[in-house]
Structure 1
Amino acid sequence: MTPTSLSILIPVFNESQTIDELLQRVFAVELPLEREVVVVDDGSHDDTPRRVAQLQQDHPEWNLRFVSHGINKGKGAAVRTALQHATGDLVVIQDGDLEYHPKDLPNLLEPLLDGRADAVFGSRFLGGPHRVLYFWHFTANRALTLMSNVTTGFNLTDMEVCYKAMFRHVALSLKLRSDRFGIEPEITAKLAKGGWRLYEVPISYAGRSYEEGKKITWRDGVAALYHILYYRVRD
């Protein structure tokens, strides 16, 4: 069946400085599909919920849905909540900052639309323009991706990437459980176990500094390694 609709899943936590611009970009990009956007606020302490509510009021033409956790549960929990509210044939995860530009969505979706793939990951290391920031983030990412490849049999270049798109029935079949950043290796491991066809496409990347709001720390890297090994032996 040819997909006709897309749900863009956006987990947010304290993104009041970027959410307006992000949603403008998400709804401005030309896509060959009907789109809905599901924003899940993960217990923000700033003005993020009010900003999203204001955008809903200002743009009634947008198919924008908003769900609030009330308390912080983690990115993985927010993705699971968004997936529960999604109705599109396809789903894609979009971070709530401006590191990933929706202009890359058409290329990300192409292998799904033409029947080559069941899931598609973006890659920040396949030639797209990117802002140069932290050497240790790059090194840790490559190490985690290598470990993931060893345990899954994939040959990915960027397992930790945010941009992951797939058919909604594929996403639901994964039965995701991770609450925090372990969601990335969990998705990858379960796609491998399910035998789903996975593609990678190059994307651009405008990474944030910690002063600009970046939240990933070395603890998340340790947690990702744990989840890579955990989902190697567990469903």
Structure 2
Amino acid sequence: MNKDDVCVLIPTLNEKTTIGPLIRELQSLGYTKILVVDGHSTDGTPAIAAELGAKVLTQTGKGKGAAMIEAFRQITEPYILMMDGDGTNPPEFADSMIEPLVSGRADHVIGDRLGSFDHGALTRLNRLGNIIMNKYFKWAHGVYMTDILSGYRGFTRDSIQKMNLSQTGFEIETEISSAVVHHNLRFEVVPTYYKKRPGSPTKLNPFRDGYKIIRAINRYGKMNNPLFHFSVLGVILGLAGFFTGIYVLFEWFKGIEHLPLTILTMLLIVTGILTFMIGLISDMILAYHREQILELEKIRAELEDLKK
């Protein structure tokens, strides 16, 4: 592994307690190309990073996602290792995070924090929220990625260029995970360790940001697993029609007719069936689209080989 081919990307916002030790440890491991993208810190974080030899970029927008998108445009190295600047992601796992990319086994690597962490690093609410969101992502996208909200990730530069990222806040990790599924990128999950935050308090609001993340999972999931979304909606409509139909039937046996409710029952059942069929057809189109993308990737690889 040539570590000069790796850019370590660290988004920061008031991380003066942890940024220095983090950069020093990365440098001791041989990672010299370190890019700190700062979200307008007021505690001197950029100055500390610059003094230690890191390249510092002050983002023009706001939010972690905006910082990452701006940084990705600046990076020219073929491999990118992203980690949080709060000291929760141990640099000792950097080599194992990069290895699947360098070996060509993966286009994207996720550092799994949930299997091993410091006491108090994750509250019960945090753990429950992560479990729910990872399970929901699996249902919505059809792929289980273990820790979709991890900020410890590895990328190839080519994979970043395919993602077309746009989220500016904490939903960025969800968008990245969704893009991996949508573009059929190869990914690996590497077990890491999550340390207790020694510096500034977390910027993530579990309820406000949790809602945004779930909304993002649902929005992107429609593109990756339409059968799930449309079938759920179709089943709900169909069940509603079934129950209203039972009521109409019982009332009819009593000699009472409910013509408007009968019409509503038929509409609900028919709409439910049609919605399910839309999901089935959309899933077939998506499968065909993915096959076409794979064929195009093979053709591109063959053309590149011919050029060489």
TM-score by length of 1: 0.86
Corresponding residue for residue 40 of structure 2: 43
In structure 1, distance between residues paired with 2:89 and 2:39: 19
In structure 1, distance between residues paired with 2:166 and 2:66: 8
The question of 1:222 aligning with 2:189 is answered no
Contact 2:19 2:49 in 1 (8 A): yes
Once the two structures are overlaid, the 10-residue window that deviates more, 105-114 or 169-178, is: 105-114
Taking a change above 3 Å as real, the CA distance of residues 217 and 65 of structure 1, as seen in their structure-2 partners, is same
1:142 maps to amino acid = I
- The alignment of Structure 1 onto Structure 2 pairs a total of residues equal to 221
The question of 1:69 aligning with 2:79 is answered no
The question of 1:87 aligning with 2:84 is answered no
The structure carrying a bigger strand percent of its residues is 1
- 1:12: how far off? 0.5
Contact 2:16 2:45 in 1 (8 A): yes
Corresponding residue for residue 60 of structure 1: none
Contact 2:11 2:68 in 1 (8 A): yes
2:150 maps to amino acid = V
2:65 maps to amino acid = G
In structure 2, distance between residues paired with 1:129 and 1:216: 18
* Aligned equivalent of 1:213, options 187, 201, 208: 201
Give CA-to-partner distance per residue, 1:123-181, whole Å, 9 cap, x none.
1234x453334111000011111111222222222111111112111012101101010
Corresponding residue for residue 8 of structure 2: 8
Taking a change above 3 Å as real, the CA distance of residues 68 and 187 of structure 1, as seen in their structure-2 partners, is same
For structure 1, the 5+ residue unaligned runs are: 57-63
Give CA-to-partner distance per residue, 1:18-46, whole Å, 9 cap, x none.
11111111211246xxx511111111122
Corresponding residue for residue 28 of structure 1: 28
Contact 2:140 2:222 in 1 (8 A): no
Contact 1:3 1:90 in 2 (8 A): no
Identity of aligned residues (%): 29
1:47 maps to amino acid = G
Query: Greater RCO between the two (CA within 8 Å, min separation 6)?
Result: 1
For structure 2, the 5+ residue unaligned runs are: 225-308
Root mean square deviation of aligned Cα? 2.1
In structure 1, distance between residues paired with 2:203 and 2:83: 15
SS class of match (2:109) = strand
- 1:100: how far off? 0.4
TM-score by length of 2: 0.67
The structure carrying a bigger helix percent of its residues is 2
Alignment of 1:101-140 (within 5 A): 101-126=90-115, 128-132=116-120, 133-140=122-129
1:167 maps to amino acid = T
